[in-house]
Amino acid sequence: MSHKQKLLLIAFSLLLSLSLSSLPLMSQSIFKPSRDDMLFFLGESSAGSKTAPQQVVYLPTGIAGDWEDISLKKYNEMISSLHLTSSDPNDNSNQKEIGVEWINKYPYLGKDFDSHCSRCAKGFYNILGDEGFTQVFDKGDKKAWESHFEKSAVGGEDYNYIDAIDYAFFAGHGNTSSLIFRQDTSGYDGDDMYVRQAHYSEVKWGDGDLEWIALVACHVLNVMHRDDWIRNAFDDDHLHGIVGFTDNVPSWQIDDLGEYFATYLYNGDSFKEAWKKATNKVFTGDVAPTAAILYPKVWYDPPIGPRGVWKDYSDECLVGRGSGSYPDPSEYTDDPYKYVLYYCDTWVT
């Protein structure tokens, strides 16, 4: 190292220590929990209140309290300038691939959603398609298969469908543990388990191309199996987020939901803000479903200084819009001072 370089290093070290002197020192322990160490916490909220949304946070065992209440803006801005940026946020050269699947009619369940589900999904598909996104597939009713959503380990082919695109949208029937399909003949389920269902145990999204998926289906993000969806769909920290609902969704009001969601996204809103605006826009009257978003945050826990949020994926936008897209959360996990936690925000529409 040259004399000039040594002087620059000393000057920079002094500047860094002065900047940190006004910040409270926190524990130097580095928490990088495994998925099995996650503990479930449910935040307080006012029932039915739009001004007090509910947040569920998955924290490492033993960490709670006011851990997240520290102001870190100045600190994080300084630290982010010292770290290398992560690699490309998407998994192939085309970062604008979209696909939708929808089911209007479920003969074996006696359910008929008229054209509500197709209109909902196609609205998302057509708005983004008109804006230059690559339309990869639009599959409905008999052509919408559970295997398109399931991982190869259970005989699924998500690698050709849901995990071969960047942004996916499903509109149809659901319950707390599954998306429901309507196959009228056999052979659409790879392992004959959970037939006509894409069960949470059968999915692992994002290890291919998928970043975000919208699930317009009843109850899927309900608290009953929410942690199971996180442990499976987000396994290995590749998926960026899921938007959906925790309770009954009035099908007769969803026609324009996909169109509004896509429009707000393209206009530069984050996924959370776009979903909140779209759901609040379309649901009126006495039936008010609870909308939800599941997403990760990357936390930074340095040996010196306070820990704080490095990336909040609810703030992510479409690629090329607003503040842009983020790398997969897994891009950060090689850093010994960073780890990923999962959150759920909900609001009554």
| CATH number of the domain where residue 248 is located | 3.40.50.1460
Residue 114 amino acid letter: D
Between strands 97-102 and 134-140, the pairing is parallel
Contact 109, 70 (CB under 8 A): no
Helix (H, G, I), strand (E, B) or coil at 313: helix
Q: What tokens appear for 15 in the block?
A: 């500047």
Read off the pLDDT of each residue in 307-335 and give the average, rounded to a whole number: 96
Greater pLDDT, 182 or 247 = 247
The answer to whether residue 41 is domain-embedded is no
Buried b (16+ CB within 10 A) or exposed e, 178-211: bbbbbbeeeebbbeeebebbbbbbbbbbbbbbbb
User: What total number of domains does the chain contain?
Assistant: 1
Q: What contacts 81, CB < 8 A, 6 or more positions away?
A: none
Q: 90 vs 180, which has greater pLDDT?
A: 180
Would residue 61 count as lying in a domain? no
Predicted pLDDT of residue 3: 46
Has residue 318 been placed in a domain?
Answer: no
To which H or E segment does residue 244 belong? strand 241-245
The predicted pLDDT at position 215 comes to: 98
Radius of gyration of the CA atoms of the chain, in A: 22
Cβ neighbour number for residue 123 with a 10 Å cutoff? 23
Asked whether residue 68 is assigned to any structural domain, the reply reads no
pLDDT at 233: 98
Residue 70 has pLDDT above 70, yes or no: no
Q: Is the residue at 259 inside a domain?
A: yes
The DSSP-derived string for 79-96 is: HHTTSPPPS-SSSSS---
Give residue 191's pLDDT band: very low, low, confident or very high (50, 70, 90). Answer: confident
Residue 330 is assigned to a structural domain of this protein: no
Contact predicate 174/197, CB 8 Å: no
Query: Whole domain around residue 106: which residue ranges?
Result: 97-296
Tell me whether residue 92 is in a domain. no
pLDDT band of residue 257 (cuts 50, 70, 90) is very high
Q: Which amino acid is at 26?
A: M
The predicted model gives 270-298 an average pLDDT of 95
- Mean pLDDT over residues 205-233, rounded? 97
CB 103 within 8 A of CB 217: no
Residue 12 has pLDDT above 70, yes or no: no
**Helix, strand, coil in percent for the chain, rounding step 5:** 30, 20, 45
Residue 72, pLDDT > 80, answer no
Confidence at 18, pLDDT banded by 50, 70, 90 = very low
76 vs 138, which has greater pLDDT? Answer: 138
In the prediction, which pLDDT does 92 show? 67
| Single pTM value for the model | 0.77
Give residue-wise pLDDT tens across range 21-66: 333 322 223 333 343 333 332 222 333 333 334 444 443 333 333 3
Question: pLDDT tens for residues 90-123?
Answer: 456 789 999 999 999 998 888 889 999 999 999 9
Q: Percent of the chain scored above 70 by pLDDT?
A: 72
129 within a domain of the structure (yes/no): yes
Q: Among residues of the chain, what percentage have pLDDT more than 90?
A: 64
Identify the pLDDT of residue 1: 53
Q: What is the pLDDT of residue 261?
A: 98
pLDDT at 297 exceeding the cut of 80:
yes
pLDDT at 2: 52
Mean pLDDT, rounded, of the chain: 80
- More confidently predicted of 340 and 66: 340
